[in-house]
Structure 1
Amino acid sequence: MKKLIAGGTVCAGALVVAAILVPAGIHGEPQSPDTENVIVVVIDGLRCYEAFHDSPASDYVRCMRDSLDPYATRYQNFWNNGVTQTLGGHLTLGTGTWQLMPNSLTYFGPDEDTVSTQPDKPTLFEYYNKAKGYGPSDNKAVYVGGKSWNDTLMCSVDPEYGRSDGGKVVIFPPHTEDWENVPGDTATYRVLINSVLGPHHPNLVLVNFKDVDKWGHKADTLDTTGTDDDYYRAIEVANSLVWELWKWIQGDATYAGKTTLIVTTDHGRHDDQHGGFWHHGGICHGCRHTFLIAAGPDTPSNTVVTRCAFQIDICPTVGELLGFWYPHARGSALSEMLDFDLSHQTGTNYGAGSGDVRVTSTDSISVSPQIASSSTGDTLHVVYVDKSAGKCEVKYKRSTNLGTSWGPDSTLSTGDELDSQLPSVCVLGDTVDVVWMGCNWHTDPTGAPLPDSVPRWYLYHCRSTNAGGSWGTRRAIQGSKYEQSPVRDKPSWSIWDPSVSRYGSSVVGISVCCTGSRRTRTR
């Protein structure tokens, strides 16, 4: 009988120091799980309905369903709450932060793309190599895939990490070859086994099987090179390759009994109510709802976890398995799949000077601070994201003596939000305005979740009229837009990165990014 876990404690994330907010605690000594190697397989663009959305799971994934699942822990309620495209999805699971990157490529050399697609936060490759003293040429942390990335997934632009700590990238075939003639996932699998795992035995590998996404797009009736059956066949091939990889791991002397395999997808595809599986990039259930399966020496077998978990949780989970610290990640390690005590749940006060004043005191993380002052400069107002309650919440503090001491915190976001990020604050007289991004289930006008609801990002606003002494009701003033037909035009958009300012005594200006552009709204 399969073990079902409905809840589960959401573990506190690693501590990050940012600006004036200094978290408490010292990060613990690494634990000693049995896992020495982690292989993450991303089946690009596998929609939940062709995978594990229903019970029993689809026949298209019968190898994973019937053969791997009995050894594994599966997260049934797993979500991509960021950009449901290949680049954004991979960078999100690789960094543990929501990375809203467009699908663009970056190469070294004269043909380098003018749009940098490197993430602003370190990747799991950088965390691992820096912790262990390795570099790309040591072949210890490797990306293998049929999609042509180079520095995009290899390393970030974070000045404390970067290319010298990045992973090795093995692209098959090279990006100079024509996309239409790229061999399929079976060829990528052979390169993975014969050119990477077999000769080098790296400790950390991320592999991309691209054909499900490729043939899903080609099934569009405007494209004469593919059919629906090609999409379904690609799923069956990727599914069988995952099982072949698991069997190969168990037969290899270096990997057997010491390797955790994680299987997931970077994004889904439009559900039938929003255009069908030909395309993706929206916020519908089909695009956002994904899955994760993990099997290995530290992972319970035959277990299904039904609580909400997210792509940003993958990087911290790999960090726990391989014993590296992940200070910039915003997700939480997937504790239900880890049969050992977590070690990297608190952080250090690095960056704090001897004369600095602690603003927060938490055994979790306090990040993304924004500060504003009164016109006289004596009252300081700070908003930030705090994870003490197990999920990210927006909090507020003030100092009335130039920052010498700080009052108690106020929680501006509410308990029903799944996630809260990116607060911004402005002050005019005694009026303090705060905006932030909050993730919540899409509901009808009565507040009840809609059928097949999805987590959706909303722009929230809250105001104090007595200099932060008390706060009014927080209001959702804009939500991400659902895709509409024809979905191949990708007419959906997500909002992100809000900022707030005041114009005179009564007008509030709020600026947000919408799928690469910035829009301003006043109220």
Structure 2
Amino acid sequence: MMAQGGRLIVMAMVGCAAGIFLLGGLYPASSYVTENVFLIVIDGVRNTEAFDDTTHTNIPHLWNDLRPLGTIYSNFYNTGTTITTGAHLAMLSGVRSGLPHCIARGDDPLAFECYRKELGIPQEQIWLFDNNPDGFIGMDYSTHPAYGEEYASSSYHAYPRSDMHVARALAQAMDQYHPSLVLVNLFEVDRMGHQENWEGYLEAIRRADAIVYRIWKKIQADTTFNPAFRDTTYRDKTTLIVTTDHGRRDDMHGGFKNHSMRDRGCRDLMFLAVGPDIKADTVIETRGDQIDIGSTIAELLGFSLPLAQGRVLDEMLIVPPGKDESNGEVESRAVSSGWHPGPNRSLMDEVRVTDTDAMSRDPSIAASDEGLHLVWAERDTGLVSDGWDIRYALSTDAGSTWVEEDAPFVRKGEDTPHTPDIAADPLLGAFAVTTAYTFRPDKPGADSTFVWGVVGRARYGGGGWSPTVVPTKPKLMMIHGEPAVAVSGEQIEVLSAASYFQMAAASRESLGVGWRRRRVQTWGGRLRECPEVAIADTVRHALFVARSPGHGVPWYARRIAATGTVDTFLTAGEGVIHGAGLAVAGDRVIAVWGDDRQGHWEVYWRRSTDSGISWPEQAVSLSESGVGAWLPDVEASGDSIWVVWEDYRDGNAEIYAKQSTDAGLTWSEDTRVTAAGGFSVHPRVTHRDGDAYVVWQDDRDGNWEIYSARIAFP
């Protein structure tokens, strides 16, 4: 269902199914009173002109009329990219997004899609309204193979019309379709700011304030406000959330004309919630994050947002009678010592590595003579605000058991690690890296509340972790996705997707030499993402996506050697790309990636046989999913190549693998690694003694846990 600048027109609608297969299992109906959620985003209002203004001149209705009815968060932030597209995707998916304006759709499933798929909600019940010039490309559905256009929201795009026009379109939809999940973007505040019209900017805030109040009165069917507001469908059954996607630069960083920076003015957000399950007249000082909005909407409406990293803003919720508030953590530790081959386990002999109440995600694995090294991110359940630790486990018996040892990165105060990677040299040991951010709201002279960077630690010779090092620039607006690290002898290469138009790289030639930091060439206004690195002898290889505004997604390979740098397009925009793997074996370089050029996702691969100088063979589809296969990883040793990926051919997310024993001339059949019935995602692979080992995150136990397996191919 889509409309643009005029009547609301039904163009396509998928109705409720009598029975629906749910990827994550059966989810119970919400126990809250709330049956509808309206999320209103006043685009680009700086908090110094909103809640932080002690006079509240620009928001009299929000402050005087709505605030006493609900809850505000006095410390609410955008900790990702302070740009409209990325910020809205973060709110709807619960995952920080690095996407700038109009680049492409997001890859993580949105609240719209999850709500429709899990509860069988028809398209006309979910609406997106905006008057943004970019038309909110990518906000109605994601590229995720389990969701997508089949579960899109209805949308109404009203550019270049006013916020009031958007409000009238919303009112018409409320009367005609009675939607239960709505996102409204009011763009005029941001437009006036970009025009550097201070008075127009303030007036736009005041108009938005009046519009929000009018919407609430219609929700509550207040006929004393307007006799036409007689429809009681929403009265006392609707939660209204009012926030902004980003603020504006403070005076230290150029003033209100622009945003897109890491300063406090851009990051500090207003947040207000009103509804039957929201505490009244409450101010919460606990830190909230933009990525918490999606999880909170899902909690209220009774569906899951499976990949969300945000939390439920439960401080503001009135807990329904009988709802379980318990939260604990059960630890599980194994004991082993000394590497040995382990039992002759079959393909399906999986090992559950973690067993906690915390979310465990984004595992990475590497091998050395000491054993198998595993790192993953695990939420700190003792913290109300966003908090993660990077955990580490070692297996010395071919993955049969894992011993959790000292964590390489733990949250210290407001210094928070986030997403890890690990690599190892067979003789020296492992080197782990993680993205991390630091929160400094009150530090004198600080020019930002949040800054991002990459930190690393070595575990050489079977000992403990070395002191922390900072390979890349430590003060970035955001690092999205995972970092990548490669180790060969004493050489280390680190690559990360920094902010949204650059890659941050760092190299170290030997243990006694400092880090050489650099920025990878940007090739104009293209998003950098999905970095991968590898080292062979003294040659460094890098692989990454560069998304362009036209949605073409060239896939770059970069070879760096003493003789110079060679860049190669591995694709030329044939399809959208997501997820990648890179491996080297002698002079062979193997690249794999997820590609939708066939109209659905499949894993493609390409190789170089001269150490990345040339790539004469064309990209070839490797997987045979027919439905959706993406997020691959690859390992190589001698003539052997192992590829693993996330696959949706079985109706849910399972891990598949493939092997070549002749350097890619022939391949085994697609081999199913998991059969869990839920989400088995984010596979990573390594090898040792001729065997391949895969790790992944899995929700079969009702919580995200880390699993591992040794792959035996038929």
TM superposition score normalised by structure 2: 0.60
User: How far is the alpha carbon of 1:27 from its aligned partner?
Assistant: 8.6
Query: Can you list the C-alpha shifts for 1:312-349, whole angstroms capped at 9, x where unaligned?
Result: 10000000100001110000000012112479999xxx
Structure 1 CA distance for aligned equivalents of residues 109 and 327 of structure 2:
18
Question: SS where residue 230 of structure 1 aligns?
Answer: helix
Where in structure 2 are the equivalents of 1:273-288 lying within 5 Å?
A: 273-288=252-267
Structure 2 CA distance for aligned equivalents of residues 372 and 243 of structure 1:
55
2:187 to 193, 210, 228: 210
Q: Does the Cα contact within 8 Å between 2:441 and 2:449 map onto a contact in 1?
A: no
Q: Does the Cα contact within 8 Å between 1:30 and 1:344 map onto a contact in 2?
A: no
Q: Does the Cα contact within 8 Å between 2:263 and 2:447 map onto a contact in 1?
A: no
Q: Which residue of 2 aligns with 1:141?
A: 126
Q: Which residue of 2 aligns with 1:512?
A: 496
Q: Which residue of 1 aligns with 2:358?
A: 364
Structure 2 CA distance for aligned equivalents of residues 449 and 83 of structure 1:
24
Query: Can you list the C-alpha shifts for 1:397-428, whole angstroms capped at 9, x where unaligned?
Result: 11111100000243323332454322111111
Amino acid at match of 1:366: S
Structure 1 CA distance for aligned equivalents of residues 327 and 176 of structure 2:
35
Q: Which residue of 2 aligns with 1:50?
A: 49
1:301 is the counterpart of 2:280: yes
Structure 1 CA distance for aligned equivalents of residues 166 and 145 of structure 2:
32
User: How far is the alpha carbon of 1:206 from its aligned partner?
Assistant: 0.4
Q: Does the Cα contact within 8 Å between 1:135 and 1:166 map onto a contact in 2?
A: no
1:386 is the counterpart of 2:386: no
Q: Which residue of 2 aligns with 1:268?
A: 247
Q: Which residue of 2 aligns with 1:99?
A: 97
Q: Does the Cα contact within 8 Å between 1:373 and 1:427 map onto a contact in 2?
A: yes
Where in structure 2 are the equivalents of 1:173-252 lying within 5 Å?
A: 173=159, 182-194=160-172, 196-219=173-196, 227-251=197-221, 252=231
Question: SS where residue 237 of structure 1 aligns?
Answer: helix
Identify if the C-alpha distance between structure 1 residues 51 and 150 changes in structure 2 by more than 3 Å, giving closer, same or farther. Answer: closer
Query: Can you list the C-alpha shifts for 1:411-467, whole angstroms capped at 9, x where unaligned?
Result: 3233324543221111112432111111112499xxx56457502112111221233
Q: Which residue of 2 aligns with 1:40?
A: 39
Query: Can you list the C-alpha shifts for 1:339-398, whole angstroms capped at 9, x where unaligned?
Result: 12479999xxxxxx9521001111121111111111x5x711111111143422211111
Q: Does the Cα contact within 8 Å between 2:472 and 2:506 map onto a contact in 1?
A: no
Identify if the C-alpha distance between structure 1 residues 154 and 59 changes in structure 2 by more than 3 Å, giving closer, same or farther. Answer: same
Q: Which residue of 2 aligns with 1:4?
A: none
Identify if the C-alpha distance between structure 1 residues 395 and 287 changes in structure 2 by more than 3 Å, giving closer, same or farther. Answer: same
Amino acid at match of 1:81: T
Question: SS where residue 209 of structure 2 aligns?
Answer: helix
Q: Which residue of 1 aligns with 2:74?
A: 76
Structure 2 CA distance for aligned equivalents of residues 190 and 443 of structure 1:
39
| 388-397 vs 229-238, greater mean Cα deviation | 388-397
Structure 2 CA distance for aligned equivalents of residues 325 and 164 of structure 1:
18
Structure 2 CA distance for aligned equivalents of residues 60 and 480 of structure 1:
37
Amino acid at match of 1:134: I
1:472 is the counterpart of 2:466: yes
Q: Which structure features the higher share of helix residues?
A: 1
1:329 is the counterpart of 2:325: no
Question: SS where residue 519 of structure 1 aligns?
Answer: strand
Q: Does the Cα contact within 8 Å between 2:453 and 2:475 map onto a contact in 1?
A: no
User: How far is the alpha carbon of 1:28 from its aligned partner?
Assistant: 7.2
Amino acid at match of 1:471: W
Query: Can you list the C-alpha shifts for 1:173-218, whole angstroms capped at 9, x where unaligned?
Result: 4xxxxxxxx1210111111112x11211111000000000000000
Identify if the C-alpha distance between structure 1 residues 167 and 28 changes in structure 2 by more than 3 Å, giving closer, same or farther. Answer: closer
User: How far is the alpha carbon of 1:236 from its aligned partner?
Assistant: 0.5
Q: Which residue of 2 aligns with 1:426?
A: 423
Amino acid at match of 1:461: G
Question: SS where residue 521 of structure 1 aligns?
Answer: strand
Where in structure 2 are the equivalents of 1:427-506 lying within 5 Å?
A: 427-428=424-425, 429-442=427-440, 450=445, 453-467=448-462, 469-479=463-473, 481=475, 494-496=478-480, 497-505=482-490
User: How far is the alpha carbon of 1:126 from its aligned partner?
Assistant: 0.7
Amino acid at match of 2:363: P
Query: Can you list the C-alpha shifts for 1:257-301, whole angstroms capped at 9, x where unaligned?
Result: 000000000001100111110000000000011121000000000
Q: Which residue of 2 aligns with 1:413?
A: 410
User: How far is the alpha carbon of 1:495 from its aligned partner?
Assistant: 3.6
Amino acid at match of 1:131: E
Identify if the C-alpha distance between structure 1 residues 345 and 217 changes in structure 2 by more than 3 Å, giving closer, same or farther. Answer: farther
User: How far is the alpha carbon of 1:30 from its aligned partner?
Assistant: 4.3
Q: Does the Cα contact within 8 Å between 1:30 and 1:343 map onto a contact in 2?
A: no
1:121 is the counterpart of 2:108: yes
Q: Does the Cα contact within 8 Å between 1:27 and 1:344 map onto a contact in 2?
A: no
Q: Does the Cα contact within 8 Å between 1:28 and 1:345 map onto a contact in 2?
A: no
Structure 2 CA distance for aligned equivalents of residues 450 and 413 of structure 1:
26
Amino acid at match of 1:520: A
2:232 to 253, 267, 270: 253
User: How far is the alpha carbon of 1:31 from its aligned partner?
Assistant: 4.0
Q: What is the alpha-carbon root mean square deviation over aligned residues?
A: 2.4
User: How far is the alpha carbon of 1:57 from its aligned partner?
Assistant: 5.4
| 411-420 vs 384-393, greater mean Cα deviation | 411-420
Q: Does the Cα contact within 8 Å between 2:46 and 2:269 map onto a contact in 1?
A: yes
| 36-45 vs 389-398, greater mean Cα deviation | 389-398
Identify if the C-alpha distance between structure 1 residues 418 and 329 changes in structure 2 by more than 3 Å, giving closer, same or farther. Answer: farther
Identify if the C-alpha distance between structure 1 residues 53 and 27 changes in structure 2 by more than 3 Å, giving closer, same or farther. Answer: farther
Identify if the C-alpha distance between structure 1 residues 404 and 94 changes in structure 2 by more than 3 Å, giving closer, same or farther. Answer: same
Q: Does the Cα contact within 8 Å between 2:36 and 2:237 map onto a contact in 1?
A: yes
Structure 1 CA distance for aligned equivalents of residues 440 and 151 of structure 2:
40
Q: Which residue of 2 aligns with 1:176?
A: none
Structure 2 CA distance for aligned equivalents of residues 275 and 168 of structure 1:
38
Q: Does the Cα contact within 8 Å between 1:49 and 1:58 map onto a contact in 2?
A: no
Q: Does the Cα contact within 8 Å between 2:243 and 2:270 map onto a contact in 1?
A: yes
Identify if the C-alpha distance between structure 1 residues 443 and 190 changes in structure 2 by more than 3 Å, giving closer, same or farther. Answer: closer
Q: Radius of gyration: which is bigger?
A: 2
Q: Which structure features the higher share of strand residues?
A: 2
Amino acid at match of 1:121: D
Q: Which residue of 2 aligns with 1:401?
A: 397
Identify if the C-alpha distance between structure 1 residues 62 and 480 changes in structure 2 by more than 3 Å, giving closer, same or farther. Answer: farther
Amino acid at match of 1:243: Y
TM superposition score normalised by structure 1: 0.80
Question: SS where residue 101 of structure 2 aligns?
Answer: coil
Question: SS where residue 352 of structure 2 aligns?
Answer: coil
Query: Can you list the C-alpha shifts for 1:98-136, whole angstroms capped at 9, x where unaligned?
Result: 0110112xxxxxxxxxx4x21111000011001111343
Identify if the C-alpha distance between structure 1 residues 475 and 286 changes in structure 2 by more than 3 Å, giving closer, same or farther. Answer: same
Amino acid at match of 1:73: T
Q: Does the Cα contact within 8 Å between 1:95 and 1:329 map onto a contact in 2?
A: yes
Structure 2 CA distance for aligned equivalents of residues 190 and 276 of structure 1:
32
Greater relative contact order (CA < 8 Å, ≥ 6 in sequence): 1
Identify if the C-alpha distance between structure 1 residues 417 and 30 changes in structure 2 by more than 3 Å, giving closer, same or farther. Answer: farther
Question: SS where residue 59 of structure 1 aligns?
Answer: coil
User: How far is the alpha carbon of 1:145 from its aligned partner?
Assistant: 1.0
Question: SS where residue 100 of structure 1 aligns?
Answer: coil
Percentage identity across aligned positions? 33
